């Protein structure tokens, strides 16, 4: 194989294999840098459906606040239990979006 054909193969490999992998890594980095879904930007139905569909999800609840919401107690670690959670949404100031996990042996106090 000549030097020219080796260089051509190197360039071909770089264009067909390395560039797509690099582009995919860049897209993945952009996706992971996206903001959390914000309850204030969703309707009540959208927020509660998102929690129900995901099972457990972290949502923004204010400019600098967030919480982990769960569909049911199966998404809470032992020995925690669920506590109903109402959050502000675009169309309802007190929307039931799901539950938060709370320590059942700490008189209703959370991990906070």
- Predicted TM-score (pTM) of the model is 0.65
Alpha-carbon gap, residue 97 to 80, rounded angstroms:
19
Low-confidence ranges of the chain (pLDDT < 70): 1-34, 107-112
State the residue for tokens 């030097």: 3
Residue 69's pLDDT is: 98
| 95-105 burial: b if 16+ Cβ within 10 Å, else e | bebbbbbbbee
Residue 49's pLDDT is: 98
Residue 52's pLDDT is: 98
Alpha-carbon gap, residue 100 to 41, rounded angstroms:
20
Alpha-carbon gap, residue 80 to 83, rounded angstroms:
10
């Amino acid at each position: 194989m000549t030097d020219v054909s080796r260089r051509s193969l190197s360039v071909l490999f770089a264009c067909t294999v390395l560039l797509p992998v690099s582009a995919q890594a860049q897209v993945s980095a952009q996706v992971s840098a996206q903001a959390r879904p914000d309850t204030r930007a969703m309707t009540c139905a959208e927020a509660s459906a998102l929690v129900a569909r995901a099972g457990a999800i972290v949502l923004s609840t204010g400019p600098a606040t967030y919480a982990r919401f769960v569909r049911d107690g199966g998404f809470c670690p032992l020995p925690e239990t669920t506590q109903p959670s109402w959050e502000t949404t675009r169309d309802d100031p007190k929307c039931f979006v799901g539950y938060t996990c709370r320590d059942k042996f700490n008189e209703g106090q959370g991990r906070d």
